């Protein structure tokens, strides 16, 4: 695969107008800013941070097109593939290609989160999606505390399938991480390994090729530096960046439900001057009273200021 994600791949939020429509002007600001930062390798849309499953199918395709346009196609756009069944997910991927997506991040079938998966079913999902769409695919490893977290044999088999070129790993169990990441490296040296442990990136930073994170919305400059420090095995420098980011990490990703982080990301983008407000779609809800001020104070403490984006 020619797609190189060895760096930072932010997962942009989907901005909305105050009346709840997709805000394409804000997408242009966000995408053009992220795409201008050296070290940003792709924009990964329609995921959890992007409220992708809260959008209509037409809106999803429009969001892909808008992010592609935001960088004039210079930065590849990766689309979240989230439909429940293999056939529907494969058709979703085919439409994403037509809208301009360069790769797909394949979510597990959502029923597996509660009930688990049959042996071989995840492999069939990736196979059918790729055969129908031709879209290069990223293996998505869910947290260990869900029943959709793939065992090592399943990961190894998916990683060896035609069309799969990277893995986004969010297992959030370091015992498994320290066992499974080396095994994936040994079996598939060409596989690009990306961490998505937004709430505690530092422990995974020295074993990966890059990051695929919602956090990339709000502090892409520092995350690019963190990746560089990790690749250099420079713990002192990586730890210093981690400590600088910690007030922001706490106020965005240590709030409780990980989904609250999506709302907090939008407040972070307000602080960076990209968004004017933090409108989200239900079932997401506004953060509690006082959260806006807490997030602003965290950005000030971390010395992360506003950016200027050309109109």
pLDDT in tens, 98-114: 999 999 999 999 999 99
Task: Give the other-Cβ count within 10 Å of 132's Cβ.
Answer: 17
H or E, element range at 295:
helix 291-301
* pLDDT recorded at residue 164: 98
Residue 1 pLDDT level (bands cut at 50, 70, 90): low
Task: Identify the pLDDT of residue 256.
Answer: 81
Helix (H, G, I), strand (E, B) or coil at 248: helix
**pLDDT, tens only, 153-199:** 999 999 999 999 999 999 999 999 999 999 999 999 999 999 999 99
Q: Cα(81)–Cα(137) distance, rounded to whole angstroms? A: 9
Structure tokens at 23: 């805000």
> Per residue in 234-288, pLDDT tens?
999 999 999 999 999 999 999 888 889 999 999 999 999 999 999 999 999 999 9
pTM over 0.85: yes
Segment 124-161, tens digit of pLDDT? 999 999 999 999 999 999 999 999 999 999 999 999 99
pLDDT band at 311 (very low <50, low <70, confident <90, very high): low
All structural domains of the chain = 8-231 (3.20.20.70)
């Amino acid at each position: 695969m020619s797609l190189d994600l060895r760096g930072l791949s932010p997962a942009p939020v989907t901005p909305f107008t105050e009346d709840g429509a997709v805000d394409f002007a804000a997408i242009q600001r966000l995408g053009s800013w992220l795409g201008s930062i050296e070290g940003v390798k792709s924009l990964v849309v329609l995921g959890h941070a992007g409220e992708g499953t809260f959008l209509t199918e037409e809106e999803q395709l429009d969001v892909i097109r808008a992010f592609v346009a935001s960088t004039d196609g210079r930065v590849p756009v990766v689309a979240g593939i989230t439909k429940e069944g293999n056939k529907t997910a494969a058709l979703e991927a085919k439409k994403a290609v037509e809208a301009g997506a360069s790769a797909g991040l394949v979510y597990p079938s959502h029923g597996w989160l509660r009930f688990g998966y049959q042996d071989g079913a995840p492999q069939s999902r990736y196979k059918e999606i790729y055969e129908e769409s031709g879209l290069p695919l990223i293996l998505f490893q869910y947290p260990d505390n869900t029943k959709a977290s793939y065992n090592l044999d399943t990961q190894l088999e998916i990683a060896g399938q035609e069309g799969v070129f990277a893995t986004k790993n969010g297992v959030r169990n370091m015992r498994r991480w320290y066992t499974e990441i080396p095994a994936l490296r040994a079996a598939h040296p060409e596989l690009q390994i990306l961490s998505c442990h937004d709430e505690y990136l530092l422990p995974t930073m020295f074993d990966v090729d890059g990051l695929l994170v919602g956090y990339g919305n709000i502090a892409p400059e520092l995350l690019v530096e963190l990746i560089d420090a990790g690749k250099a095995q420079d713990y002192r420098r990586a730890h210093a960046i981690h400590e600088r980011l910690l007030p922001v990490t706490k106020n965005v990703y240590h709030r409780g439900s990980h989904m609250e982080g999506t709302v907090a990301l939008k407040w972070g983008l307000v602080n960076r001057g990209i968004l004017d407000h933090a409108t989200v779609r239900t079932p997401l809800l506004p953060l509690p009273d006082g959260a806006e001020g807490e997030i602003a104070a965290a950005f000030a403490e971390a010395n992360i200021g506003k950016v200027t984006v050309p109109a």
